[in-house]
Structure 1
Amino acid sequence: MGLSVSNGNLSGWNIETNISLLHHTLMNKQAPLTLILGSTGKIGSRVAVELRKLGLPIRTAARSNADVAFDWSRRHCFAHALEGVGRVFLVAPTLRLDFADDVAAFLDEAEAGGVQHVTFLSAYGMEHAPNEVATRSVELDLRQRKVLGHTVLRPAWFMQNFTETFLKPVDGAILVPTGDGTEAFIDAQDIAAVAAITLADPLAHVGEAYSLTGPEALSVADAAAIMSEETGQAIAHVNLDREAWIAGAIEHGMPFEYGAVLRQLTETIASGHGSRPNGTVQKITGTPPRTFRNFAHQNASAWRVSK
């Protein structure tokens, strides 16, 4: 969900990828400008870092703290954000289910302005979603555009959900109705590494849709056990009643209509249909995706409670 092991260094990539992208950067000093939407978010901020390391020109876009102000509810800002842009990292609006028309308008503007390629951050399994689901609608919209090249990224649940959002422990407990189901959690850095490669060399990835996973399928209880070992403190998974959990999320500010998304996401894992490890990240980056153990070791301080 938007609800990894690249370390962000070129030395971590395989020789072929390293040489190819360095050649791309050195031989094309006038590389097209890449617009990064959601540039202050978990993935967009990391994509910006990766592209800067490659020496590629970028323009960050977000509601604040970015090169350009960008708000999906203000279509008049699209043209300014896209001025002079050749490639786009597309992140749809968060906590909304009605964004397909806004994204379509943005893509119309992108085509008219000469954008050549869009890398779209979708979600794992989205190819099986009904066409009316907004994220799937964007995928289909991109597919039918004849001028605009695209790559779709479909990542599993982010490991960062355990440190930043709804899987973060509260009083030593991770409250989420996923039962004993497993998920191949992926580090946001690995997603960003793949995204950067598709944006640096889009012709090699045009028309592709990549399902991105971590290297192992874990239940939330498995993850909690690893977190306990790394922190030296007890962390447990509490499998709350799903409807009560959704009601609590809405009570704490989650839009009511987003409850359907939370229900589907957690039911998918609880029913045993969560993501399964594949070799896509390593195939594209040349580096194995980050393990949850490594992630937990580096982030133990985020969960450790002072006594």
Structure 2
Amino acid sequence: MTMTGSPQTALVLGGTGRTGSLVARQLAERGLGARTAARHGADVRFDWDDPTTHPGALDGVDRLYLVTPVLRVSYADQVAAFLDLAEAAGVRHVTYLSTYRGDQAPPEIDIRAVEADLASRRAITHSVLRPAWLMQNFSDAHLPVVDGVITVPTGGGAEAFVDAADIAAVAVETLLAPEAHADARYAPTGPQALTVAEVADTIAAVTGRPVRQHDIDPDAWIGGAVAAGLVPADYAVMLRWLTAGIISGNGATPNNDIEKVTGRPPATFHDFARRSVHAWTSPAVG
């Protein structure tokens, strides 16, 4: 399938987010039109819960970086309706940001349903990205260092944490050359499987400040997140699934998908930590 005869423009959902903002910037640098979409601060306003924002976002678009609603587990129907609209508007390729082992997600989480929906559509090609946990989790509000402690249940298990920039680089290649990546399943990972204790040691080394992990009981951690209003109650199933993978020893393991697609190796956590040192040393950080 070739994509000619129409303007080549990618709609980047989550366009102000951790991967979407990088995808849009890298696409523009490579000469492809990129339109960011988000509720605030993007090129176009896009709200999953306001379908009136969808048609305008898709105007003149032929490819899509699909980021599903955040902090939710039920969204397949909304996504299907949007993909119907996208197809009708002329979108011919979708790159979907899924989750590591997304094909094995519990049935009450709609990750697998979206993957299956894309696979069933004959009028469009698609690529699925199933990345490991992001390194950025430790430099933003997901798994912050608070008073020198990273609190997350892992049972001492390891994960091949991946840099959001490397996920974005893979996404960009699929959006630039959809034919070459049709039906592809990529699982972007970092080059090393690390425990969170090792992550803490690395952050301590680059900041010169003591950092350690509190390997908390999973139920206490999830219950605390729900009670504090950080996540909706039904999102607990997602947190339980994500942490159980690491605790059981089935966390992400390094592979060569990033180098295979982009031609360069993924960033190490030490690379990321040195680049992000300000996140842990600014006055606002506890």
Normalization by structure 1: what TM-score?
A: 0.88
By relative contact order (CA 8 Å, sep 6+), the higher-ranking structure is: 1
Verify: 1:120 aligned to 2:118, yes or no: no
Q: Whole-Å Cα distance in 2 between the matches of residues 301 and 106 of structure 1? A: 38
Match of 2:184 in 1: 208
Aligned with 2:264 (options 287, 294, 297): 287
Aligned-residue CA RMSD (Å): 1.7
Alignment of 1:71-82 (within 5 A): 71-82=47-58
Match of 1:6 in 2: none
Q: Whole-Å Cα distance in 2 between the matches of residues 67 and 81 of structure 1? A: 9
Q: Whole-Å Cα distance in 2 between the matches of residues 230 and 302 of structure 1? A: 11
Structure 1 residue 168 displacement after superposition: 1.3
Aligned with 2:76 (options 77, 100, 114): 100
Q: Whole-Å Cα distance in 1 between the matches of residues 5 and 213 of structure 2? A: 50
CA displacement 1:63-115 (0-9 Å, x = unmatched) = 01112111101123221111111000000000011110000000000111111
Q: Whole-Å Cα distance in 2 between the matches of residues 155 and 55 of structure 1? A: 25
Contact 1:82–1:110 (Cα < 8 Å) also in 2? yes
Contact 2:163–2:267 (Cα < 8 Å) also in 1? yes
Structure 1 residues without counterparts, runs of 5 or longer: 1-27
Superposition misfits of 4+ residues, deviation over 4 angstroms = 28-31
Verify: 1:297 aligned to 2:274, yes or no: yes
Aligned with 1:175 (options 148, 151, 161): 151
Alignment of 1:90-169 (within 5 A): 90-169=66-145
Structure 1 residue 222 displacement after superposition: 0.6
Verify: 1:222 aligned to 2:198, yes or no: yes
For 2:182, the aligned partner's letter is V
Aligned with 2:209 (options 210, 221, 233): 233
Contact 1:33–1:56 (Cα < 8 Å) also in 2? yes
Q: Whole-Å Cα distance in 1 between the matches of residues 108 and 69 of structure 2? A: 16
For 2:52, the aligned partner's letter is H
Structure 1 residue 251 displacement after superposition: 2.2
CA displacement 1:152-189 (0-9 Å, x = unmatched) = 00000000000012221110000001121000000000
Aligned with 1:48 (options 8, 11, 24): 24
Structure 1 residue 304 displacement after superposition: 2.8
Verify: 1:66 aligned to 2:42, yes or no: yes
Q: Whole-Å Cα distance in 2 between the matches of residues 100 and 132 of structure 1? A: 11
Match of 2:243 in 1: 266
CA displacement 1:179-238 (0-9 Å, x = unmatched) = 210000000000000101100111100111111100000000010011111111110000
Where 1:237 maps in the other structure, the secondary structure is: strand
Verify: 1:252 aligned to 2:228, yes or no: yes
Contact 1:31–1:56 (Cα < 8 Å) also in 2? no
Q: Whole-Å Cα distance in 2 between the matches of residues 174 and 83 of structure 1? A: 43
For 2:88, the aligned partner's letter is A
Match of 1:8 in 2: none
Of stretches 125-134 and 207-216 in structure 1, the one that deviates more from structure 2 is 125-134
Identity %: 50
Q: Whole-Å Cα distance in 1 between the matches of residues 21 and 276 of structure 2? A: 18
Contact 2:140–2:279 (Cα < 8 Å) also in 1? no
For 2:251, the aligned partner's letter is G
Change (3 A) 1:29 1:110: closer
Contact 1:184–1:214 (Cα < 8 Å) also in 2? yes
Where 2:187 maps in the other structure, the secondary structure is: strand
Contact 1:182–1:269 (Cα < 8 Å) also in 2? yes
Structure 1 residue 250 displacement after superposition: 1.2
How many pairs are equivalent? 281
Normalization by structure 2: what TM-score?
A: 0.94
Change (3 A) 1:49 1:246: same
Contact 2:93–2:126 (Cα < 8 Å) also in 1? yes
Q: Whole-Å Cα distance in 2 between the matches of residues 41 and 182 of structure 1? A: 25
Contact 2:103–2:111 (Cα < 8 Å) also in 1? no
Match of 1:9 in 2: none
Q: Whole-Å Cα distance in 2 between the matches of residues 143 and 114 of structure 1? A: 18
Q: Whole-Å Cα distance in 2 between the matches of residues 130 and 262 of structure 1? A: 11
Match of 1:186 in 2: 162
For 1:291, the aligned partner's letter is T
Structure 1 residue 133 displacement after superposition: 2.7
